[in-house]
């Protein structure tokens, strides 16, 4: 089987620079694998593709099959890592217009997402869309009290109970939460909802290969067995501490080399629109893991060739502080041939008989050379094709690289203290009990 490959020949670094990172790579490897680094309580993901709860996985599959039989729609309620991984996989591996395909022609249900924003317009539109459809919900939250998903769950739970009655609604509510504590765990015990566990050793952004991501992914008709197969193979392939033999560690090392040379912004680039939400997951993974203590490479994303007509100029000729990480699919699953036009009014007959994927490849190669000429280093991750196996492998590649890169950077890659700041301010301004003193302070600041 072909493998995921990492090409750094356009990284604009010298080979000796990578070799000189070996001691730091070894130290980061030891911190991660010996569980002695900062945040080690949240490194359960390292071996999770092997150690996951097999009995729970069977329940996940059964729940997904039930959802596919009794529902047209699954509403996934969660924010951050509670939904981004699942959405990344579903949108990467599904038909581009899957929601418009008749139910009988699809492998799974339509999956929509709520609780990831506080927009009344978005939620009302989603409620209008599913009013006349049979639907289930999967609410995902460690605590059950995070504002955005808690609001959405309250509203969709009410809609389910009005539509199906309390007992009928109970059969359509699936909860993924803490094993022992929290508001949602208490509610499951009280109401008897089907529930799954967010493992204690997995932070949200590292949880896509657990029930957090697997239930929605399976309900969408995607083969989670193959997804885990790819991740399991990746565990083995990316465990060598020798940076010359481990492409995952090469990526982590080169990111830090470039950062030390003033490259403060990394752009995740793809040439397939289906990767747009994979980019969003990647941005959370690296943004939350590395962005602390005044450090971190700012994660951005672009979809080419679309964004070459908006961001291409600033990437090529703007401030010299960025590099690109390109994910390239060697053999896309589908293609369209460019037809011959007798009139040739658009002047494109020189590519008649070629396919769109061929043109896309030439755009990739031309852009790569242009950006490198503009002193924008390019790191290229190539997968043979886009399927569940390589998606699982790529997820693990980035998770492992992120943990190693964070330790090289000198931060705790597994916490996110800055995320709590906005929550406290929002709670205070909303008048949540216990935040009265902070509320008065913030109101004074707002007046100024």
Q: Which member of 91, 194, 288, 388 is catalytic? A: 288
Question: Phi and psi dihedrals of 287, rounded to 5?
Answer: -65, -50
The length of the chain, given as a count of residues? 448
Helix (H/G/I), strand (E/B), else coil: 187: helix
Q: Which member of 319, 423, 424, 443 is catalytic? A: 423
CA neighbor of 226 nearest in space, from 105, 395, 80: 395
* Residue 141: burial class (beta carbons within 10 Å; 0-12, 13-18, 19+): buried
* Residue 58: burial class (beta carbons within 10 Å; 0-12, 13-18, 19+): exposed
**Which pair of tokens denotes residue 329?**
């699919």
423 assigned to active site: yes
Helix (H/G/I), strand (E/B), else coil: 157: helix
Which residues are within 8 A (CB) of 70 and not within 5 positions of it... i.e. 6 or more apart?
134, 136, 171, 172
Question: Phi and psi dihedrals of 113, rounded to 5?
Answer: -125, 135
Q: How far apart are CA 166 and CA 324, in angstroms?
A: 51
Q: How far apart are CA 265 and CA 288, in angstroms?
A: 14
Q: How far apart are CA 418 and CA 203, in angstroms?
A: 15
**Which pair of tokens denotes residue 219?**
């309900």
What single DSSP character describes residue 385?
A: S
388 assigned to active site: no
Place of tokens 């050793």: 201
Strand 5-10 and strand 378-383: the pairing is: antiparallel
Distance of CA 423 to the CA centre of its chain: 22
CA neighbor of 145 nearest in space, from 182, 114, 117: 182
Q: How far apart are CA 23 and CA 226, in angstroms?
A: 35
Q: How far apart are CA 356 and CA 27, in angstroms?
A: 45
Residues labelled as active-site residues: 288, 423
């Amino acid at each position: 089987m072909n493998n995921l490959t990492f090409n750094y020949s356009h990284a604009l670094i010298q080979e000796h620079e990578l070799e000189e990172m070996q001691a730091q790579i070894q130290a980061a490897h030891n911190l991660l694998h010996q569980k002695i680094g900062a945040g080690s309580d949240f490194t359960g993901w390292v071996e999770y593709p092997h150690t996951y709860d097999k009995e729970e996985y069977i329940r996940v599959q059964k729940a997904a099959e039930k959802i596919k039989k009794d529902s047209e729609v699954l509403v996934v309620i969660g924010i951050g890592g509670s939904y981004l991984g699942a959405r990344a996989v579903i949108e990467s591996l599904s038909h581009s217009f899957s929601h418009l395909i008749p139910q009988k022609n699809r492998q799974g249900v339509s999956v929509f997402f709520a609780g990831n924003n506080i927009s009344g317009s978005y939620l009302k539109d989603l409620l209008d869309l599913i009013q006349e459809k049979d639907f289930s919900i999967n609410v995902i939250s460690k605590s059950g009290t995070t504002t955005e998903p808690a609001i959405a769950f309250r509203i969709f739970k009410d809609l389910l109970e009005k539509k199906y009655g309390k007992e009928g609604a109970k059969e359509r509510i699936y909860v993924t939460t803490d094993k022992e504590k929290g508001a949602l765990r208490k509610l499951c015990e009280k109401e008897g909802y089907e529930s799954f566990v967010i493992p204690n050793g997995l932070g949200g952004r590292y949880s896509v290969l657990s029930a957090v991501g697997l239930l929605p992914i399976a309900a969408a008709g995607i083969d989670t067995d193959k997804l885990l197969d790819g991740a399991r193979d990746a565990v083995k392939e990316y465990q060598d501490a020798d940076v010359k033999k481990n492409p995952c560690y090469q990526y982590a090392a080169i990111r830090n080399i470039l950062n030390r040379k003033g490259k403060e912004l990394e752009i995740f680039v793809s040439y397939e629109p289906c990767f747009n939400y994979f980019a969003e997951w990647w941005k959370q993974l690296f943004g939350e893991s590395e962005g602390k203590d005044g450090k971190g490479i700012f994660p951005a994303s672009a979809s080419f060739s679309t964004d070459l007509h908006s961001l291409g100029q600033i990437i090529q000729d703007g401030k010299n502080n960025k590099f690109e990480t390109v994910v390239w699919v060697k053999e896309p699953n589908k293609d369209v041939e460019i037809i011959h036009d007798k009139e040739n009014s658009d002047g494109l007959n020189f590519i008649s008989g070629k396919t769109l994927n061929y043109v896309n490849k030439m755009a990739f190669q031309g852009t790569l050379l242009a950006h490198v000429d503009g002193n924008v280093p390019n790191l290229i991750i190539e997968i043979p094709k886009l399927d569940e196996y390589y998606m699982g492998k790529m997820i693990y590649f980035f998770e492992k690289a992120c943990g190693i890169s964070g330790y090289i950077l000198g931060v705790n890659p597994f916490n996110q203290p800055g995320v709590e700041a906005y929550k406290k301010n929002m709670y205070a301004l909303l008048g949540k009990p216990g935040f009265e003193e902070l509320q008065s302070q913030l109101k004074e600041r707002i007046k100024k």
